[in-house]
Amino acid sequence: MTRARAAIAGVVATTLALATTETLLAVLPGTGSLFVAVGNAVIGATPGPIVSFAIDTFGSANRLVLLSSMMVGMSGAGALIARASVRRRWIAPVGFGLFGVAGAAAGAADATITTSSAVLATAGGVVVGTAALAKVLDVLRGGESTPEPLQDGTEIEPQATRRRFLGWTVALAGSAGVLLATGRFLQDRAATTVARTTTDLAAPAQPLPLPPAGASLDVDGISPLVTPNEDFYRIDTAFTIPRVDASTHRIAFTGMVDRPFEVTFDELLDLADTEMDVTLSCVSNQVGGDLIGTARWLGVPLADLLERAGVQAGADQIVGRSVDGWTGGFPVEAAFDGRPAIIAVGMNGEPLPARHGYPARLVIAGLYGYVSDTKWLSEIELTTFDAFDAYWVPRGWSALGPIKTQSRIDVPRDSASVDAGTVAVAGVAWSDEHGVSAVEISVDDGPWQPADLADELATTTWRQWIYRWEASAGNHVLRVRATDADGRPQTADISPPAPDGATGHHTIRVSVA
C-alpha cells in the first residue's frame, strides 16, 4: 500500500517539478520551453530512419506521441525514485537532482533558452519537486502518529494518514495544474503574439500589382491562386512552434564570407521592400497531395545581404539554420541567378505567422522546402556540399531538391459522381522556377487533350487550368500531366517522395450518371 502511494507521490512530485520549471522559464529571460528542448534533444539523438518512420507513421501527431512518451517516461522514473526513497531518503534529492542536471544541460544547449534561465528554472523545479515528495513521504511514513502493529505483524493504517496523504496529493497535483496553465498562458502571450501584432511591415517600394483577374478561374472547388495563411500547409520538425523574441532577434552571416555580420530584425523590416509570388512545395508531397501552397512574400533579396558579407570563392552551399537548430542547404547560384530568393518577413500582407517562421524565413523559388525555406531563421552559413550535410540529407533525402513538374486535379474529387454533359475538370500545375507551358488531360487512357491554362501569376507559382469534358454515362479514369517551360512533359514513371520528390500522373476515378 505504501509503495503504491509512494509511486503516486512520485508522479505528482515529478509533474510539479516540471510545471515549476516551465513556469519559471516563462517569466525568466528567453522564450523557450525546457520540455521542448528535451524533446528536440531526443529527436536530435534519434537515428534518421526512426525519425522518418515516426513522421510517416504518426504524421503531424508525431510530436504528441513523443511528448506523451516523455511524460510517461519521466513520471515512471519519478515513481521509482519515490518508492526507493521511502527507506533511503537521500535517493529523492539525488534522483531529482540528476534529472535537473540533464534538463539544464538540454536547456543550455537549446538556442531559445539562456544558460542561466535553464539552470535557475531546473533548480527551482528540483527544489519544489524534492520538497513536495519529502512532505508526502513523511505523511506516508506515518508522520507523528505511529501505526499500531497487530499480532501477525501487519499494521493498521491510521485513518488520519490516509486522509492527509489524499489531501497533500490532491493539493500538489492541483498546484501543478495551476502552474502549468499559468506557464502556458504566459508563454503563449509572450514574444510571438505581442511582437507579431505590433510588427509593422513597411509598404514595399515596388509593390506587385494585384494578381491579374485572368489568373484565377471561376470554378467551384479549385485551389485558390493565392493560399490564405490559415489554410497554408505546415511541415517542420519543430516539437512546438519556436517563439522568437523579435526585439532581440538577429540573423548571422557566417562561414565562408569575407565580412561576417549580423542583421537585426528591425533592420530587416526596414530593408524588406521586395514582393515575390512563390509557390512552396514539400518534397514529401504525394502525387495529388496537398503539401503545397502559394503566397505573396515580402522580404529582402538574399543576394543583397550576401554581397554585404562577401561570399568567398569555393563556397557552393548556402545553409539556413533556425533558432531550434534545423538546417536546409541549397546551391549558392540559387541566390544569384535571378529567381526569387529572399529572407521573408511578410506573408500575404501580414507579418509571418508563427507557424510559418516568424519573425523571418527563407523563401527560395524552384526548390523544395526541405533544402531551402528555413523558418525561424537565425543564421546563414556559407559552406560547401562536401563539408556540410543539412538536416534531411543524412536521413536519406537528396542534397539537391529542385521542384519536379507536377499537376493536380482539384475538381471533380476522386470517386465523385457527376452528371453526364459538360463537366469542368480543373486544378493546378507547377514546375521549378521557370513555370508551366501546357497541361493535358487523358480520359480512359485515351490521347492527351490540351486543357486551357489560366494566366500566369508568376513563373514561380502554380498555374490554374481547366478542361471542359464532355462526360458520357459510365465509370471513367481521368489523368493529368503538365509540361514545363522548356517543353518537357511530366514523367509517367511512378516514384515515391524519397529521396527527391514523387513522380507520376495524378489520376482520379469518376462515375457519370
Q: What does DSSP say about strands 416-418 and 507-512: parallel, antiparallel, or unpaired?
A: parallel
* Residue with the shortest CB distance to Mo ion: 282
Site of grid cell 505546415: 234
Q: How far is the CB of 341 from Mo ion (least distance, A)?
A: 18
- Retrieve residue 209's grid coordinates: 500589382
Is 236 a binding residue for ligand MTE by CB under 6 A? The answer is yes
Nearest CA to 136 out of 87, 86, 177, 200 is that of 86
Question: CB 59: neighbour CB atoms within 10 A?
Answer: 9
Among 32, 100, 331, 369, binds Mo ion (CB under 5 A): 369
Which CB atom, from 141 or from 234, has the smaller least distance to Mo ion?
Answer: 234
CA dist., res. 150 & res. 155, Å (int): 6
Is 249 a binding residue for ligand MTE by CB under 6 A? The answer is no
Binding to ligand MTE in span 276-335, by CB under 6 A: 280, 282, 322, 326
Whether the CB-CB separation of 308 and 321 falls below 8 Å is answered with no
Partner from Mo ion, ligand MTE, none contacting 344, C-beta within 5 to 8 A by type = none
CA dist., res. 83 & res. 7, Å (int): 6
Is 374 a binding residue for ligand MTE by CB under 6 A? The answer is yes
Is 479 a binding residue for ligand MTE by CB under 6 A? The answer is no
Which CB atom, from 233 or from 261, has the smaller least distance to Mo ion?
Answer: 233
Among 62, 122, 237, 294, binds ligand MTE (CB under 6 A): 237
Is 498 a binding residue for Mo ion by CB under 5 A? The answer is no
Which CB atom, from 99 or from 391, has the smaller least distance to Mo ion?
Answer: 391
Q: How far is the CB of 500 from Mo ion (least distance, A)?
A: 12
CA dist., res. 239 & res. 166, Å (int): 35
CA dist., res. 244 & res. 193, Å (int): 10
Whether the CB-CB separation of 331 and 360 falls below 8 Å is answered with no
Among 48, 175, 233, 252, binds ligand MTE (CB under 6 A): 233
Stretch that binds Mo ion, among 266-274, 280-288, 307-315, 407-415 (CB under 5 A): 280-288
Among 96, 168, 326, 370, binds Mo ion (CB under 5 A): 370
Q: How far is the CB of 292 from ligand MTE (least distance, A)?
A: 9
Whether the CB-CB separation of 294 and 277 falls below 8 Å is answered with yes
Which CB atom, from 290 or from 455, has the smaller least distance to ligand MTE?
Answer: 290
Which CB atom, from 503 or from 507, has the smaller least distance to ligand MTE?
Answer: 503
Stretch that binds Mo ion, among 101-109, 238-246, 367-375, 450-458 (CB under 5 A): 367-375
C-alpha dihedral sign at 177, 182, 185, 190: negative
CA dist., res. 123 & res. 444, Å (int): 68
Is 223 a binding residue for ligand MTE by CB under 6 A? The answer is no
Among 70, 201, 235, 424, binds Mo ion (CB under 5 A): 235
Among 38, 132, 244, 282, binds Mo ion (CB under 5 A): 282
Partner from ligand MTE, Mo ion, none contacting 265, C-beta within 5 to 8 A by type = none
CA dist., res. 481 & res. 450, Å (int): 10
Is 232 a binding residue for ligand MTE by CB under 6 A? The answer is yes
The secondary element (H helix, E strand) that includes residue 328 is: strand 327-331
Q: How many residues bind ligand MTE (CB under 6 A)?
A: 18
Peptide bond into 228 cis (omega under 30): no
Stretch that binds ligand MTE, among 31-39, 207-215, 231-239, 464-472 (CB under 6 A): 231-239
Site of grid cell 499559468: 182
Is 30 a binding residue for Mo ion by CB under 5 A? The answer is no
Partner from ligand MTE, Mo ion, none contacting 234, C-beta within 5 to 8 A by type = ligand MTE
Q: How many residues bind Mo ion (CB under 5 A)?
A: 4
Partner from ligand MTE, Mo ion, none contacting 236, C-beta within 5 to 8 A by type = ligand MTE
Q: How far is the CB of 454 from ligand MTE (least distance, A)?
A: 23
Is 234 a binding residue for ligand MTE by CB under 6 A? The answer is yes
DSSP code string of 59-110: GGGHHHHHHHHHHHHHHHHHHHHHHHTTT-TTHHHHHHHHHHHHHHHHHHHS
Taking CB atoms within 8 Å and a gap of at least 24, the contacts of 45-49 are: 48/394, 48/395, 48/396, 49/395, 49/396
Which CB atom, from 254 or from 511, has the smaller least distance to ligand MTE?
Answer: 254
CA dist., res. 176 & res. 168, Å (int): 12
CA dist., res. 435 & res. 340, Å (int): 13
Length of the chain measured in residues: 513
- Summarize as ranges the residues that interact with ligand MTE (CB under 6 A): 232-238, 280, 282, 322, 326, 356, 369-370, 373-376
